[in-house]
Amino acid sequence: MKVMTFDFEEKRLSEEITKRGAKRVLIQLPEGLKKEGSRLAAVAEKAGALVMVSADPCYGACDLATLDGKSLGADLIFHYGHSKMIEQEQVPTVYIEVKAKVSVKEAVKKAIPLLKRWKKIGLIITVQHIQTLDEVRKLLLEAGKTVAIGDARRLEHAGQVIGCDYSNAKSVSKEIEAFLFVGGGRFHALGATLATAKPTIVADPFEKRAYSIEKEAQRILRQRWASICEAEKAESFGVLIGLKNGQKRFTEALKIKEKLEKSGRKATLLAVRDITPEVLTQFPDIDAFVNTACPRVSLDEASKFLKPVLTSNETFVLLGETDWEELCRKGLFGN
C-alpha cells in the first residue's frame, strides 16, 4: 500500500496539541504506517510538545498504548489507523482513522458482475473508506440491488467492520443474500464470511479489482475442524488471556478453564501480549491452547503453530456443548 494515499490529518494533529495544551505526546501507528512516525513527530513537535512514537507492534485499537502513555507521562495519545474501541481511556486519546484517498468506483464496478446471483446486498467497509459508503450504495442501487447497511452501535460507523467485530454485518445478515466488502486485502472479507456464513465479494480500491473470498473461507473451515479434532486428543490445555486492554476476557478464560477441568483435562491460565509460535513453544507440556484474546490469530495464522490454538467457540464444540455444523451456519466468531 502506498502510504501517501492516506490522510494523516497533520493539521488536526497540531491543532489538538495546541487546543489541549498537551506537553508530552505519544503517537501510535499500526504496522505498515510506522514509517510515517518521524514525519508526524516533527509536525507534532512544531506544535510545542515533546513527542514519542511507539515502536511496539500495534494491530488494532484493542492495543491502545494507554499504559505505556501513562508510564511515560504522556498527556495525550494519537492513535492512528483505527477507530475508537476502548470505552474509557486512561490517557486522553485522539483517534485519526487515516482515510484512504483513492477512488472506490472502479473496484465496485468490477464487483457488480460477481454479485449477479444475488439481489439483496449487505454493504460492509473498513474505516479507511467509510467516507465512500454513500457512493457505493448508489452504485449498487443503480445496478438494481437492494442495499442494507447494518448499525449494531458497537463500532464508530454504520457498515464498518474490524478484524474481530462484524456486529454491523451480523445485524443485517438475515435480510441479505451476500455481502459486498469495500477495502484492501482479504483479511476483513474473510472475517465477514466466517462470522456471518454469507458469501462475500471483495472490492479492493487499492488494487482496483474484485473477487470472491469463498474458496479461502472453505479452506479455513476445513483447517479449523482439523484443529478441533486434533485438540480432542489433548490432555493438557493452556488457556490464553490477552494482556492487551481490548483483548482481555478474564471471565471467559476462567469459565473455559473450569469446563476443561470438569471434562477431565488439565488447564493452565497463560497471560500473554502477543500470541506467537515462539511464545507457545515455551510450554512443551501443554498439548493444545484456547485463545480468548484475538480470534484472528487462531483463524488466520493456524499453520504457523505446532499445536492447535482453538477459539472459545471452537472449544465449546470440543466440549460437546455446540454443534460444529451449527456454528458454521451461525458464523464462527463474534456475538
> Which residues lie near ligand SF4 (CB under 6 A)?
59-60, 62, 162-164, 246-247, 294, 296
Shortest distance in whole angstroms from residue 56 CB to ligand SF4: 13
**What DSSP character marks residue 327?**
H
**Cα–Cα distance for residue pair 66/79, rounded to 1 Å:** 10
- The minimum distance between CB 297 and ligand SF4, in angstroms, equals 7
Residue nearer to ligand SF4 on the CB measure, 37 or 246: 246
Q: Which residues pair with 6 in a beta bridge?
A: 100
Complex with ligand SF4: residue 170 or 296, whichever CB lies closer: 296
C-beta of 288 vs 294, nearer to ligand SF4 = 294
Q: Residue 45 corresponds to which cell in the numbers above? A: 513537535
Nearer to ligand SF4, 198 or 296 (CB): 296
Contact predicate 268/256, CB 8 Å: no
By the 10 Å C-beta count (0-12 exposed, 13-18 middle, 19+ buried), 5 is classed as: middle
In sign, the C-alpha dihedral spanning 169, 170, 174, 178 is: positive
Output 62 or 96, the one with its CB closest to ligand SF4: 62
What burial letters (b/e) apply to 248-267, b meaning 16+ CB within 10 Å?
A: bbeeebeebbebbeeeebeb
Taking the complex as a whole, the smallest distance from the CB of residue 67 to ligand SF4 amounts, in Å, to: 16
Helix (H, G, I), strand (E, B) or coil at 138: helix
Instruction: State the SS3 of 157-205.
Output: CCCECECCECHHHHHHHHHCCEEEEECCCCHHHHHHHHHHCCCEEEEEC
Q: State in angstroms the smallest separation of the CB of 294 from ligand SF4.
A: 3
What is the distance between the alpha carbons of residues 294 and 334, in angstroms, rounded to a whole number? 11
In Å, the largest CA–CA distance within the chain is 62
- Residue placing its CB nearer to ligand SF4 in the complex, 133 or 162: 162
Question: Smallest distance, Å, CB 144 to ligand SF4?
Answer: 34
In the complex with ligand SF4, the residue whose CB is nearer, 164 or 239, is: 164
- State the nearest-atom distance from the C-beta of 275 to ligand SF4, in Å: 10
For the bound state, the minimum distance from the C-beta of residue 265 to ligand SF4, rounded and expressed in Å, comes to: 26
